[in-house]
Chains A and B, each alone.
Chain A
Amino acid sequence: MRLLRRGWMYAAMLAVSAFALFPVYWVAITSLKPRSEIYTRTPDLWPSDPQWHQYPRVLGEGHVARALLNSLIVAGATTVVCLIVGAMAAYALTRFEIPFKRVLMMLVLMTQMFPLVVLVIPLFVIMRNAQLLGTYAGLVVTYLAFTVPLAIWVMRGFLVGIPDELEHAARTDGATRLGAMWRVILPLAAPGLATTAVLCFLEGWKEFMLALTFMNEETRKTLPVVLQSFVGRGDTDWGAIMAASVIYTLPVVVVFIVLRKHLMTGTTAGAVKG
C-alpha cells in the first residue's frame, strides 16, 4: 500500500517535470532542426541532424542581434539609474524618522500593482513632447515608473536587517554621515544591491507594452518587440522564432538558476513574474 502510494508520487513528479521542461526542450530542438523536420506531420522527438545555422541566420538577418544590443542598453541603463535612486530612497526610509513613512511604503508597493495600460497614453504624450519617442532615454525613463518602486521595496528589506549600531559606531569614530554610508552600509548592503540590480534588469529585459508603443524604428526595437513581430507574420518561420526565443530566454534562465535562493525576496512587490 505504502509502496503503491510512493509509486504514484514518483509518477506525478515525472509528469509535472515533463510539463515544466518539455516546452523548453521542444523550443531548443526546433531551433536546431532543418526546415524539413520542423514542417512535418510526424515530429521527431530528437533532431536526427542538429544544425546551428538558425542562430547566425537570425542574428544576421532578423534584426535580432540589433535587438539584443538594444535590450541590453535599455535594461542596463534602467538598472543603473534605478539602483542609485532606489538605494537613496530606501536608505532615507529606513534610517530617518519621516512623517507618513508607512503610508509612503504602502503607496510604493501599490504602484507595483497598477496595470501599465493605465499609464501608457499620457507617457506617450510626455515622451512625444520631450521628443524622446523612439530613443533609449525615453524608454528608460518610462521604465523607471515601475522599477524604482520595486527597487525601493526590495532594498528597504535588506537595509532594515543592517543594525543601526554599526553606523553609530562609525560616526562616533569621526566618520561623516555620508562616509559611514559609503564605507559601512554599502559593503554590507552589497547582496541587497545585487539582488535589486538583477530584478530591475529583468523588468527592463521583459517589458513589452511600452517598448511596443515607443520604439517604432526597426533599429531601436527591443527583443520582445522583434519576437512579437516574428510571431505575427503570415509566413511564420518557426525555426527562426524558436532560435530568437532561446537567445531571449537563456540569460534569464542562467540568472534564475544562480540566484534561486534569493528569488523570493522581490516577489512581494510583484517582481519576477512572467
Chain B
Amino acid sequence: MSHGAATEAPAGRIGGPAIDAVGRALARLTLPVLLLLPALIIIVGLVGYPLAKTIWLSFTETRLGDLIDGSGEWVGLENYKEVFTDDHLRTSLVNTVVFGTACVVGTMVFGFAVALLLNQRLRGNVLFSVAVLLPWAVPALAASAIWRWLFDDRYGFVNWALVNIGFSSFRDYAWFADRESAYVAIFVTVVWQSFPFVALSLLAGLQTLPRETLHAAAVDGASAWQRFRLVTLPLLRPIVAVLVVFSTIWDFKIFDQIYVMATGVPERAADTAAVTAYRESFALGHYGVGAAVAVVLFAVLLVFSIVYVRMIGREARA
C-alpha cells in the first residue's frame, strides 16, 4: 500500500504538496481497486463487451460462419428496416408490448387485491400468506410445464372444470392453437408467478400506513372505496410506481414461458421479441437480424431501467 506513496515522494519535493496529495490519494485507492477488479472485469467483459458487440452485429449481415471469424458485412440500417417492415418481426414487437402490458396490469390489480386481503388479518392469515408465497418459488420452466398440462386440450383440468360448470364449448378446446387463447393461458401462468411478489411488497407498504389517518377518514364517514382511493392509494404511490416499472421490465423481456408454451401456436404467431431475437439467431442463423430485434427490446427496456434505477436511488437516499 505504501508503494504508491514511496515512488511519488521525490515528486513531492519538486512539485510541492499538491502532487504529494495526488500520490497519497492514489495509494489510498490501491486496495479498493484491487478488490473491485475481478467484479469490474466480469461486468465489462461479460456485460459491457457483449452488449457493444450485439449492437455492432445488428448493423451487419452475419451468418454462422461470419459469426465465428467475425467477418459480417456492414449493411447499415438494413436489419432495423427489416424488423419494422417484416410482418413476423414487427408482430413480435407488438406482441411484446400488448401482452407485456396486459401482464403488468393483471399482476398489479390482482396483487393489490390480495395485499388488501392479507392486510385484513383474518383468521388463518399465516397459512394464507404461505399459500400466496408458494407460486413465487416455482421456477419459470416448471410453472410453464405445470400450466401447459392444466391447459391440455384432452386431459387438462381447466377444460374439464369449464365443461363441468356449463361451458360445454370447452370440450377438447385447444388453447395453444391460436395466438389469443394461447396468450390467455400464458397470461394466467405469468400472473400466477408474479402476483405473490407484488402482493407481499404492497402488504409491506400497507403496514407502514398511519392508522390514525385511515381511522379519521372512517370517522368522517368515508366509505371503504373512498378511503382506498383518497388515502391508501396516494400514500402508496411511490411503491406502486416502483412495482409497475419493475413488472414492466420483467414482463417485456419474458422468454422462458413463451419459449415453452407458445411453441405449438401456428406460424409462431405468439412469439414475443425475446423469443424472436433468439430464434432468428440460433434457429435460423440470421444473427444480424436477431441482434437488431434484441437491441430494439433492449432500447425500450433501457428507458424503463433508467426510470427504475432513479426511483431506487431516490429511495436509497431518503
In the complex, what residues of A have CB within 8 A of residue B105's CB? none
Chain A residue with the shortest CB-CB distance to B159? A41
Chain B residue with the shortest CB-CB distance to A269? B312
Contact call B312/A245, Cβ cutoff below 8 A: no
The 8 A CB mask of B190-202 against A (1 = contact, 0 = none) is: 1011101100110
Known: A121-B291, A148-B42, A228-B259. A126 touches B50 (CB 8 A): yes
In the assembled complex, how far is the CB of residue B112 from the closest CB belonging to chain A, in whole angstroms? 12
Contact call A232/B122, Cβ cutoff below 8 A: no
The 8 A CB mask of A143-159 against B (1 = contact, 0 = none) is: 01110110010000000
Contact call B253/A115, Cβ cutoff below 8 A: yes
Contact call A111/B117, Cβ cutoff below 8 A: no
> Which of A15-23, A53-61, A184-192 lies at the interface with chain B?
A15-23
Q: How many A-B residue pairs have CB under 8 A?
A: 277
B83 sits at the interface (CB 8 A): no
Contact call A17/B142, Cβ cutoff below 8 A: no
Contact call A238/B42, Cβ cutoff below 8 A: no
- With A and B bound together, what is the CA distance between A211 and B31 in angstroms? 36
Contact call B297/A118, Cβ cutoff below 8 A: yes
| Pick from B51, B135, B157, B309: contact of A106, CB under 8 Å | B309
B16 sits at the interface (CB 8 A): no
Within 8 A of A (CB), among B166-204: 190, 192-194, 196-197, 200-201, 204
Known: A117-B278, A231-B144, A253-B137. A13 touches B128 (CB 8 A): yes
B147 sits at the interface (CB 8 A): yes
Contact call A144/B294, Cβ cutoff below 8 A: no
B249 sits at the interface (CB 8 A): yes
Contact call A111/B43, Cβ cutoff below 8 A: yes
- With A and B bound together, what is the CA distance between A124 and B306 in angstroms? 27
A80 sits at the interface (CB 8 A): no
Contact call A41/B154, Cβ cutoff below 8 A: yes
Known: A43-B157, A238-B149. A23 touches B39 (CB 8 A): no
| Pick from B29, B54, B256, B295: contact of A122, CB under 8 Å | B54
Known: A102-B313, A224-B141, A227-B142. A20 touches B192 (CB 8 A): yes
Within 8 A of B (CB), among A109-157: 109-111, 113-126, 128-129, 141-142, 144-146, 148-149, 152
Contact call B255/A209, Cβ cutoff below 8 A: yes
The 8 A CB mask of B98-119 against A (1 = contact, 0 = none) is: 0000000000000001100100
Residues of A within 8 Å of B, CB-based: how many? 98
B27 sits at the interface (CB 8 A): no
Contact call B146/A27, Cβ cutoff below 8 A: yes
Contact call A106/B145, Cβ cutoff below 8 A: no
Within 8 A of B (CB), among A48-92: 84-86, 88-89, 91-92
Chain B residue with the shortest CB-CB distance to A160? B316
Contact call B38/A89, Cβ cutoff below 8 A: yes
Within 8 A of A (CB), among B130-166: 130-150, 152, 154-155, 157, 160
B246 sits at the interface (CB 8 A): yes
- With A and B bound together, what is the CA distance between A270 and B253 in angstroms? 13
B232 sits at the interface (CB 8 A): no
Contact call A274/B249, Cβ cutoff below 8 A: no
In the assembled complex, how far is the CB of residue A5 from the closest CB belonging to chain B, in whole angstroms? 9
B80 sits at the interface (CB 8 A): no
Q: Interface of B with A (CB < 8 Å)? A: 28-29, 31-33, 35-36, 38-40, 42-43, 46-47, 49-51, 53-54, 57, 67-68, 70, 113-114, 117, 120, 122, 124, 127-128, 130-150, 152, 154-155, 157, 160, 190, 192-194, 196-197, 200-201, 204, 246, 249-250, 252-253, 255-257, 259-260, 263, 274, 277-278, 281-282, 287, 290-291, 294-295, 297-298, 301, 304-306, 308-309, 312-313
3 smallest A-B Cβ distances: which pairs? A89-B39, A122-B50, A145-B46
A-B contact pairs, 27 of them (CB 8 A): A6-B122, A12-B117, A16-B117, A17-B128, A27-B142, A88-B38, A89-B36, A96-B28, A110-B306, A113-B249, A114-B301, A115-B301, A117-B278, A120-B281, A121-B291, A122-B53, A126-B50, A177-B31, A208-B256, A223-B141, A227-B145, A245-B142, A252-B138, A256-B133, A268-B312, A274-B140, A274-B250
Q: Interface of A with B (CB < 8 Å)? A: 6, 9-10, 12-13, 16-17, 19-21, 23-24, 26-27, 30, 38-43, 84-86, 88-89, 91-93, 95-98, 102, 106-111, 113-126, 128-129, 141-142, 144-146, 148-149, 152, 177, 205-206, 208-209, 213, 223-224, 227-228, 230-232, 238, 241-242, 244-245, 248-249, 252-253, 255-257, 260, 263-264, 267-268, 270, 272-274
